[in-house]
Structure 1
Amino acid sequence: MVRVSNTIVGFLYNISLLLCLVAICTSLYFFVHEGTQCQKFLNALIIVGAFIFAVSLLGLIGSCCRINFVIICLMLMFLLIVGLTVGTVYGKRLTNEGMGDVVSGIGHKEHRLGDYSNWLGNHFVNGKNWVQIKNCLSDFRICKILTGCCQPPSVCEFESKNGTIWVAPKAGPASKGSDCTTWSNQQETICFYCNACKVGFLEY
């Protein structure tokens, strides 16, 4: 029974080692080849990957040699999982899901930046942080998902010319909201600086 248990634990540690190696190699590749600003975010995987790799390696040695410190490695892995879970729950609580206005005739809720905590606003959608996030969204062609980043809000009543070019009414945008004036037909800009885009990012 103990041998079977050690085999299973060893197998799991092998999987963990392989995943860590992939993460570390990916980070090193973009670090050496000077990838895009978005890809450079992956450099953080070096630290996380190295830590998990070290714990997994110690655990693998312990399970193969039947050394008791394998239990310590399992506890470290458990604490790591707990930490990630707590971080996820905390992030979820930063969004006030009770907020949001129901869109008439549609039924779903329309959120605004004010529906989210100041912490999220200050760390993700304000200042230079948003510029880096915007570059990431552009690099990954996020327009297939976050439509709020890729077309002007419907309240502006812009006219679509060919799917990527939108023209404001001659009398000006139907709404005086900032998103209507923030929109640009330049594909590097479009609505990436619109509040609708930022809200869509926070939602995802």
Structure 2
Amino acid sequence: MALSNNVIGAINFVAMLLSIPVIGAGIWLSTEPDNSCVKILQWPVIILGVLILVVALAGFVGAFWRIPWLLILYLVAMIVLIILLACLVVFIYMVTIRGHGHIEPSRSYLEYNLEDFSGWLQRRVRSSYKWDRIRTCLSSTSLCAELNQSYRMAQDFFNAHLTPLQSGCCKPPTECGYTFVNPTYWISPINTAADMDCLAWSNEQTQLCYNCDSCKAGLLANLKKEWRRADIILLMALIGLICVYLLGCCAFRNAKTEDLFRKYKQGYT
């Protein structure tokens, strides 16, 4: 039984290690400007990762100190956390399956439409109350100001590969026909009726297109890209945890069998 307990302990140590990329994914999301402003995904991921770490630690302690009830608690709690992690992986995939950029003539950057994204993501930014808080957070960053330092000429800017957030929030939509002065200052719109965003644009550096639907769409496109990356990490951790859990179940069953066999031999002799 001692050997089986050592095996279970080693397996739970691996489970503890697998919690690190989950926690790391949540911390990485919290450092991204868009996610830090929206605050939707990072805390559930971090909390789930911490719970996996705590439960794996309990299993590790239960194995090496031979505490059966703690091992049983570990098995029950870990399967619940694995199910929650699987649900989170599927949820992230489903809400990010829609939404893509559109090519505009003579532009290297893409334009984004809010209607292209999933309804659940759209509801996160359509509410004026929610968006006012997000907009204030975004406008306080150097997201758009950095463009003025990088691009002086119009053609250089048109050839730039902007992030979705920069494309949606820092400039007016291309279809409006504004004339470039610098990346965050545009004049003489040709077609203000093309989109409501054409009227929402402001050369005030704290306003720009933060009130535009294109900014909301750019935010969601940025979230989609980052959430997809985090989802890959979570999926890999999930697969690892499932393998570790199955091995742990087998080791626990073998340990119980060895214990029963030992007691049987002692009773027989």
The TM-score, its normalising length taken from structure 1, stands at 0.64
- Residue 161 of structure 1: SS of its match in structure 2? strand
Corresponding position of 1:82? 83
- Once the two structures are superposed, the pairs formed by residues 4-153 of structure 1 within 5 Å of their partners are 4-10=7-13, 12-13=15-16, 16=19, 38=37, 51-52=51-52, 54-68=54-68, 69-94=70-95, 97=98, 112-138=113-139, 141-143=142-144, 145=163, 146=165, 147-153=167-173
Structure with the greater alpha carbon radius of gyration? 2
Output the CA distance in 1 between the equivalents of 2:56 and 2:136: 34
Corresponding position of 2:186? 166
Higher RCO (CA 8 Å, separation ≥ 6 residues): 2
Q: 1:179 Cα deviation (Å)? A: 0.9
Q: 1:178 Cα deviation (Å)? A: 0.9
Q: 1:180 Cα deviation (Å)? A: 0.9
Structure with the higher helix share, 1 or 2? 2
Say if 1:188 and 1:158 are closer, same or farther in 2 by CA, change over 3 A: same
Q: 1:195 Cα deviation (Å)? A: 1.1
The TM-score, its normalising length taken from structure 2, stands at 0.51
Q: 1:9 Cα deviation (Å)? A: 2.1
Say if 1:166 and 1:123 are closer, same or farther in 2 by CA, change over 3 A: same
Q: 1:125 Cα deviation (Å)? A: 3.1
Say if 1:84 and 1:39 are closer, same or farther in 2 by CA, change over 3 A: same
Q: Judge conservation of contact 1:10–1:63 (CA < 8 Å) in 2.
A: no
Q: 1:7 Cα deviation (Å)? A: 2.6
Corresponding position of 1:179? 197
Q: 1:181 Cα deviation (Å)? A: 1.1
Matched, 1:195 2:213: yes
Structure 1 stretches of at least 4 aligned residues deviating more than 6 Å after TM superposition: 39-46, 99-102
Say if 1:92 and 1:188 are closer, same or farther in 2 by CA, change over 3 A: farther
Q: 1:151 Cα deviation (Å)? A: 1.1
Output the CA distance in 1 between the equivalents of 2:134 and 2:119: 17
Identical-pair percentage = 32
| Stretches of structure 1 lacking an aligned partner (at least 5 in a row) | 28-36
Deviations 1:93-136 (A, max 9, x none): 34674x87975779x99653333444333333322112233344
Deviations 1:5-31 (A, max 9, x none): 5234225426748x86xx89xx9xxxx
Deviations 1:58-115 (A, max 9, x none): 2332233233333532553343243233234234434674x87975779x99653333
Q: 1:194 Cα deviation (Å)? A: 1.1
Q: Judge conservation of contact 2:111–2:168 (CA < 8 Å) in 1.
A: no
Say if 1:72 and 1:116 are closer, same or farther in 2 by CA, change over 3 A: same
Output the CA distance in 2 between the equivalents of 1:15 and 1:93: 24
Q: 1:153 Cα deviation (Å)? A: 0.9
| Stretches of structure 2 lacking an aligned partner (at least 5 in a row) | 31-35, 145-161, 225-269
Q: Judge conservation of contact 1:149–1:197 (CA < 8 Å) in 2.
A: yes
How many residue pairs are counted as aligned between the two chains?
Answer: 186
Output the CA distance in 2 between the equivalents of 1:174 and 1:158: 8
Output the CA distance in 2 between the equivalents of 1:92 and 1:15: 21
Q: Quote the RMSD (CA, aligned, Å).
A: 4.2
